[in-house]
Amino acid sequence: MRIATWNVNSITARLPRLLAWLESSGTDVLCIQETKCAAEQFPVEELRALGYESAVNATGRWNGVALVSRVGLADVVTGLPGGPEYEGVQEPRAVSATCGPVRVWSVYVPNGREVTHEHYAYKLRWLEALKAAVAEDAAGERPFAVLGDYNIAPTDEDVWDIGVFEGATHVTEPERAALAGLREAGLADVVPRPLKYDHPFTYWDYRALGFPKNKGMRIDLVYGNKPFAEAVSDSYVDREERKGKGASDHAPVVVDLDV
């Protein structure tokens, strides 16, 4: 079984590449972030034509997450139970479902913007709510994972130059402590380092030749419980999908399971 996560940075802009990638990669379940569309604009029919069911949590031009599966889609939960609001709204940042033998979440953790910004405090509250929401599934015997754009680099080695990020979000101790909280809940990073590259980054800024110069970050993560981790047979970052015209600024992260 092949499961992946991909921040597509607008599913409308990325649809031809997304459909082609699903066909060529053999992915069974894909967790999508930053759909940047309303739910009714999500390409349900185009994906159904390829054999995928869709579960969508999206409300407009910002944020938005989805799960697409060709191995079943059941017990869908839209949103983060107990999650905080930002400016009076619970943003569309989580969706979960059971896909065959595995239960998965697709999450788009708030960016945080700046350490002094209210969005940063919101990010920490959101992560605390995520820890509470996944605890029961994480402790279960069924393979379970939370995949997505976490907007956190777990270690200094997960950014191209830690000196550039001094005082910035994505690398602060409170953010990393919140990520460690998921480990306390029974989840662990199941994508080993290094992979096929010395620096298996998943995101590169469009600006300043970020991708050609490999000025990247590893912020798209797969956190699974013990049954999920024990089933992992392979994993990789599909850097090829970051190349060329019309690419997202994130690459897919792919995990193969023996289930």
Task: Please answer whether residues 242 and 250 qualify as being in contact, where contact means their C-beta atoms are separated by less than 8 angstroms.
Answer: yes
pLDDT tens per residue across span 218-246: 999 999 999 999 999 999 999 999 999 99
Task: Please answer whether residues 14 and 246 qualify as being in contact, where contact means their C-beta atoms are separated by less than 8 angstroms.
Answer: yes
Q: Tell me: is residue 241 an annotated ligand-binding position.
A: no
Mean pLDDT of the chain: 95
pLDDT band at 194 (very low <50, low <70, confident <90, very high): low
Entry pTM: 0.96
What is the average pLDDT across 132-157? 97
State the pLDDT at residue 233: 94
State the pLDDT at residue 208: 87
pLDDT band at 62 (very low <50, low <70, confident <90, very high): confident
pLDDT tens per residue across span 204-214: 999 988 999 99
* CA–CA distances in Å: residue 221 to residues 12, 46, 154, 242: 23, 27, 9, 16
Q: What is the DSSP string of 8-42?
A: -S-HHHHHHHHHHHHHHHT-SEEEEE---SBGGGS
Q: Tell me: is residue 151 an annotated ligand-binding position.
A: yes
**Beta carbons within 10 angstroms of residue 208's beta carbon:** 9
Q: In this model, does residue 24 exceed pLDDT 70?
A: yes
Q: Which amino acid is at 182?
A: L
What is the average pLDDT across 156-162? 93
Looking at the structure of the chain, the number of domains it has is 1
Q: Tell me: is residue 118 an annotated ligand-binding position.
A: no
State the pLDDT at residue 21: 98
Q: In this model, does residue 201 exceed pLDDT 90?
A: yes
pLDDT tens per residue across span 72-99: 999 999 999 999 999 999 999 999 999 9
State the pLDDT at residue 48: 98
pLDDT band at 107 (very low <50, low <70, confident <90, very high): very high
State the pLDDT at residue 219: 97
pLDDT band at 61 (very low <50, low <70, confident <90, very high): confident
State the pLDDT at residue 248: 98
Annotated catalytic residues are 108, 149, 250
pLDDT band at 172 (very low <50, low <70, confident <90, very high): very high
Q: Tell me: is residue 7 an annotated ligand-binding position.
A: yes
User: Which structural domain range is residue 75 located in?
Assistant: 2-257
pLDDT band at 196 (very low <50, low <70, confident <90, very high): low
Q: CATH code at 174?
A: 3.60.10.10
